[in-house]
Structure 1
Amino acid sequence: MIGARCNGWGLVEFLIAIALGLVVSLLASGLLIASGGASRNHSESQWLGDGGRYALRLMAQAIRQGAYLNWDSDLAPPALATASVDGLDAASISRGSDGISAPLPAVANGSDVLALRFYGAGEGVNGDGSSVNCGGFGVAGGVQGWSIFYVAADAGGVTELRCKYRSAGGWGADAIVRGVDSFQVLYGVDSDVPMDGVPNTYLNATAVRAIDGWKRVCSIKLALLLHGEHNTRADTVNGRYDLFGPAYSESHGEDVGVRVVEARLPPSQRLRARRVFGMTVALRNRDG
């Protein structure tokens, strides 16, 4: 009797099949991880875009409102006794201090402080709602309002851009956007006599104060570098971010924070999504 011939896999073929299956599984897992990482990085980039645009829009609104006077009201002062804009380089402030009168050590690569003054409109505690501070509270006619922007760390150590304001209950501050690497401000100074409302040069707060030039500021440059919450980038490139462009960074090495180099950041933050946002906003004409 002739025995039946077995046509199944031998041990060698079986081991080869297992090895090939493992290779395919590893490749598929790698693609899945890469796809998930790219998706997370894209999501963080979208979040950065939304947060950055919102922050610039809020600050631009406050800048355009700076120096506002309601000439139709009997309560309106004839002119602002002080400049409508003020600021600090490489500093922070507290939530409850009076304006920017008590500077604190800087956070987030020497981030700046921007302060804007304006007068309200309408009667009552919150006025008629046409003149509001950065917290969204109305400011009554004849009352000086404030919108102050600065960077501080929350309880978990995450740096955030905050809006400080004075309401009927006193000073307060709210977070605008989290994950701030640097917030920088330059002031366009009109040095012509008489002033024509066109900036001749852009200076930081220290330089403006040195020439007593706050009342000559006619526009403001804003720059904001934000990072995501997680390390989602697949590359290992150490990026460099010049918030006002390489030329300004090279010629103003003393202006801390206008250049941020990822290699100098904490290792835990180097592979996060990052994005620079910038805008130049003209101030209101002080005569109207």
Structure 2
Amino acid sequence: MNSTFQNKQGGLTLIELLVALVISSVIALAAFSAIVVSRQGFATVDAASQLRDNARFATEIIQRLALQTGYQDVAYSATIRPASSTAPANVSGFTNGTPSVSGILVTSTTKALGTTGYGSDVLILRYQAPETYPGSGKVDKGIIDCMGRSKADDDDIPIDRDDRLLSVLYVAESRGQPALMCRTESGSGQPLVEGVENFQVLYGVDGDNDSVTDRYMRADQLIVAGNDAATKANWDMVRSIKIGLILRSGVGATQETASQTLYPFGNARASASAALGSAFANSANDPGTVVSAPADRRLRLQTSFTIHLRNEQNL
């Protein structure tokens, strides 16, 4: 029997197929873009978290070392250091330098423009490791150098008032990255915190001996050329240390491509000029206090803090 209806198989026209392809491509592209943005956001958040952790660790280790500065074992703290003493100061440093350590002697060469850590300062701290119990011959390991050691052999007590631990902090390259470095008198430089590209130090000086900081000065302002006694007297007046740090992430942590001007000691404005960051910035005499960061898609973190020294520095 012939049917009056013929079964016809329906289909999509070429135009409909093209429209469907375009719509699906747009959806796929939107999904891919969302994944890329999500991954970039995750990378940025992770890099920012790492920067904060590094800044926190750097702050804690510098504060601990600085608070130990000038500590003397009870056997030597009861008497004042003779005025004729030529022993190195407990706290000292260099502006824009690279340190060289030979025993208790620390010297520095000026960093050239373009070198790793250009403008970064050198901070030198000295302190004793106390005897655990008088007559025990064992060192209390609560006081450490920047490598975490209390003494080279961990057993010898200080033999005199100038037998002190030495910690030298500065910026140099480590595994292709700038890092906050540590040197002691018995070792080469070792990285403490990677990603630190700028390390600034100002010294709070008590000029009238009332135990209150009068003003902050650079290391080169405290050094008297050819007069070690006057230089030592200046360092002995230091009552606090102001630290400024610039830390950076790896490449690609942010999509930001603009260059930045950063101030390690913060954006506080001086009363004279009111320019951003001018309270502690001095690019003419201390180039590291103003940092021009390139557009390299790195996150950067500025942090600064002040440490008040708790020990007398001339004992």
* TM-score, length basis structure 1: 0.86
Runs of 4 or more off by more than 4 Å in structure 1?
74-78, 94-99, 123-126, 249-252
How far apart, CA to CA, are the structure 2 residues paired with 1:132 and 1:250? 32
Aligned partners of 1:70 and 1:76 also within 8 Å: no
Higher Rg: 2
Q: How many residues align?
A: 276
- Do residues 237 (structure 1) and 272 (structure 2) align? no
The partner residue of 1:66 within 54, 65, 69 is: 69
The alignment partner of 2:249 has SS state of strand
Shift of 1:208: 1.9
How far apart, CA to CA, are the structure 2 residues paired with 1:58 and 1:113? 15
* Greater Cα shift, 15-24 or 94-103: 94-103
How far apart, CA to CA, are the structure 2 residues paired with 1:17 and 1:117? 75
Shift of 1:94: 4.7
The equivalent residue for 1:132 is 144
The equivalent residue for 1:43 is 46
Structure having the larger proportion of residues in strand: 1
- Per the alignment, do residues 250 and 68 of structure 1 end up closer, same or farther by CA in structure 2, a change over 3 Å counting? closer
The equivalent residue for 2:177 is 158
Which segments of 5 or more consecutive residues in structure 1 lack a partner in the other structure?
A: none
The equivalent residue for 1:15 is 18
- Per the alignment, do residues 76 and 135 of structure 1 end up closer, same or farther by CA in structure 2, a change over 3 Å counting? farther
- Measured against aligned partners, the alpha-carbon deviations of 1:54-100 in whole angstroms (never above 9, x if no partner) come to 111111111110111112x3698753844211101111125777642
- Do residues 283 (structure 1) and 309 (structure 2) align? yes
Aligned partners of 1:66 and 1:118 also within 8 Å: yes
Over the matched positions of the two proteins, sequence identity in percent amounts to 27
Shift of 1:114: 0.2
The equivalent residue for 2:247 is 226
- Do residues 109 (structure 1) and 118 (structure 2) align? yes
* TM-score, length basis structure 2: 0.79
Shift of 1:29: 0.8
Superposition CA RMSD, Å: 2.6
The partner residue of 2:127 within 118, 121, 132 is: 118
Which segments of 5 or more consecutive residues in structure 2 lack a partner in the other structure?
A: 152-156, 225-229, 267-276
How far apart, CA to CA, are the structure 2 residues paired with 1:94 and 1:101? 5
Matched letter for residue 178 of structure 1: E
How far apart, CA to CA, are the structure 2 residues paired with 1:199 and 1:182? 25
- Per the alignment, do residues 171 and 251 of structure 1 end up closer, same or farther by CA in structure 2, a change over 3 Å counting? closer
How far apart, CA to CA, are the structure 2 residues paired with 1:96 and 1:250? 32
Aligned partners of 2:265 and 2:281 also within 8 Å: no
Mapping of 1:191-210 within 5 angstroms?
Answer: 191-192=207-208, 195-210=209-224
- Measured against aligned partners, the alpha-carbon deviations of 1:97-133 in whole angstroms (never above 9, x if no partner) come to 7642243636323111000111221278972213221
How far apart, CA to CA, are the structure 2 residues paired with 1:182 and 1:32? 35
